[in-house]
Amino acid sequence: YNAEQVLSWEPVALSNSTRPVVYQVQFKYTDSKWFTADIMSIGVNCTQITATECDFTAASPSAGFPMDFNVT
C-alpha cells in the first residue's frame, strides 16, 4: 500500500558553525561506482540540500528508481 521510496537520516550538528549543514545523497548499484542523486541521474535532486530526507519516489515511470529497488 505504501510505494514511497524515502531515505531519511539524523541531522548532523557542526561545532562552531552558524551555517546550515548541506547534504549530498549518493547511490550505487551492486559492484559499481557511487553516483550523485541528481536530476540528470535519477530525476530527483538530492544534492546541496538542507533537509534530512530525500524522496526517491518516482513522479513518472521514467524517473526515480524502479519500484522493486530498496533505498537504504
19, part of any domain: no
The whole-number average pLDDT for the span 23-52 is 84
Question: What CATH number is attached to the domain comprising 45?
Answer: 2.60.40.10
> What pLDDT, in 10s, does the model give residues 6-25?
889 999 888 887 888 999 98
Whether residue 18 is contained in a domain is answered as no
* 35 is a domain residue: yes
Asked, for residue 66, whether it belongs to a domain, the answer is: yes
Question: Could you report the per-residue pLDDT of 32-41, keeping only the tens digit for each?
Answer: 788 888 887 7
Quote the CA–CA distance of 55 and 58 in Å, as a whole number: 8
Tabulate helix, strand, coil % of the chain (nearest 5): 5, 20, 75
Given pLDDT bands bounded at 50, 70 and 90, which one contains residue 59? low
Structure confidence at residue 7 (pLDDT): 87
pLDDT given at position 1 = 42
| Domains: count for the chain | 1
